[in-house]
Amino acid sequence: MSKKPSLAQLASQLGAELHLAPSASPEDIPLGLSTLQDATPSDVSFLASATYRRFLRDTRACAVILTADLAAECPVSALVVDDPYHSFALATAVYDAAPEPVPGIHPAATVHPDADVDPSASIGPGAVVEAAARIGSGAVIGPRCVVGEGSDIGRGSRLHAGVTVYHGCTIGRDCVIHSGAVIGADGFGFAPHQKRWTKIHQLGGVEIGDEVEVGACTCIDRGALGDTVIGRGVKIDNQVQIAHNVQIGDYSAIAACSAVAGSARIGKHCTIAGGAGVVGHVTVADFTHVTAMTLVTKSIDTAGAYSSGTPFSDNRSWRRNAVRFAQLDQMSRRLRELERQVASLQGNRPEAGDGE
């Protein structure tokens, strides 16, 4: 376990201005991170949302990461920054207690003689590295992972226990692939013929850029012809389905239980919220946000926020509304007919001064 930094050292690492409480010392050593309401005197906390401002006054933390306009309200030492949430993210790396892997190949691992494994890489027990696979410097292949023939795992990337990377796939540098993820399985391709299905063999691969994180039990299918491509810095949550030949632009993020169908193209810096779906062969513009449970059924050409579906309500109201949804077409026809009748009556109305 690495040595924890003092308050002064932590401020330097975060690029923060340290405002010490009267009884505090810059050499005090915090031991961890916690929320404002749960922090102890050995914890650092943070305030990034006005929602939690009410907890600042009574916090017991040894220091709080916050903006300059709130420093005067802080009863303990303050680490003043421009973006507290980003600084909190940096601080989590400082206090991460995950065990460090040991370089080398575990005796219970199986590594093909033709594989290229950097001496600084770590290959865990039960892992399999097949022929012509390449494992870069500092990469970690966790227990029971499989790296298929000809696949390439970049420098500093980590495959947690039980990840499967099929043949002919490329994972860039400094990526994190969580347990149960499958990279490069066959895309869902079948040709109907005489009331049966003929398999379309998936001849492409998967190309994952640098600094990508893939959540647990997510599947990224290989391309049918050409590769499925995940851009640099993309973040994909747990249990997400990425179909064959999808392209996801740099620094986009997709939340849990979403699905992107074959050959869809997601732009750069997009965010797709939980449970959303994107149909195949559509394009989503850069900087688009898709809200939870939305189904994208056609291309989005203009950046913005997009939604579909029905918000929840109490069950009785929802049932009434569900009946009305089924009547919308009939109601629309009746409304048009009423509008036609009104227009006809207005057309027959005498002008001022007409008549007797």
Catalytic residues: 244
Closest CA to 127 of 149, 103, 106, 144: 144
Q: How many Cβ atoms sit within 10 Å of the Cβ of residue 328?
A: 9
Cα–Cα distance between 129 and 265 in angstroms, integer? 31
Q: Which helix (H) or strand (E) holds 247?
A: strand 247-248
Instruction: Report helix, strand or coil for 344.
Output: helix
Cα–Cα distance between 205 and 220 in angstroms, integer? 10
Q: What is the DSSP letter of 192?
A: E
Give CA angle at 203 (199, 209), nearest 5°. 130
The letter for the amino acid at 276 is A
Identify the sign of the CA torsion 10, 95, 257, 174.
positive
The letter for the amino acid at 2 is S
Contacts of 128 (CB under 8 A, 6+ apart): 109, 110, 111, 145, 146, 147
